[in-house]
Amino acid sequence: MGPLVDDAIEEGYEVGDDGEGRRPYHGYYFKILTAQGPSAPGGAKSYLEGGKLADGFGLLAWPASYGNSGIMSFQVNQRGLVYQADLGEDTADIAEAIDAYDPGPGWEPVVD
């Protein structure tokens, strides 16, 4: 295998990836969050209006291979507020269950 394949594997791509489901980008998975939770500024609310993201957005990023492509997971909203957390060995399961931008306990602001 060549160096590009080696790099892709290091970033979390698996040999034989058939394109089904999520695919990592630079070692991270990304998911759009269509709501915010009670810990977000302004409290819990949906960002959807008429089926469109009209009242904000959130984005979640988590490592494709915990401990290999990354350790920290990240949340960001339309205001650019970025939070990070180490979700541990169960990062993938925890991240899949997150459906709202909600930087509550365990999430720390990312400082430049």
- What are the pLDDT digits (tens) for 1-20? 567 666 666 666 665 555 56
**Overall domain count for the chain:** 1
Distance, CA of 25 to chain centre? 11
Domain that holds residue 100: 3-109
- pLDDT at residue 22, as a whole number: 80
Average pLDDT, the chain: 89
Model pTM?
0.81
pLDDT value for 39: 95
Rg (CA), the chain: 15
CA 91 to CA 68: how far, in whole Å? 12
pLDDT digits (tens, 9 = 90+) for 58-93: 999 999 999 999 999 999 999 999 999 999 999 999
Q: What is the mean pLDDT of residues 44-57?
A: 94
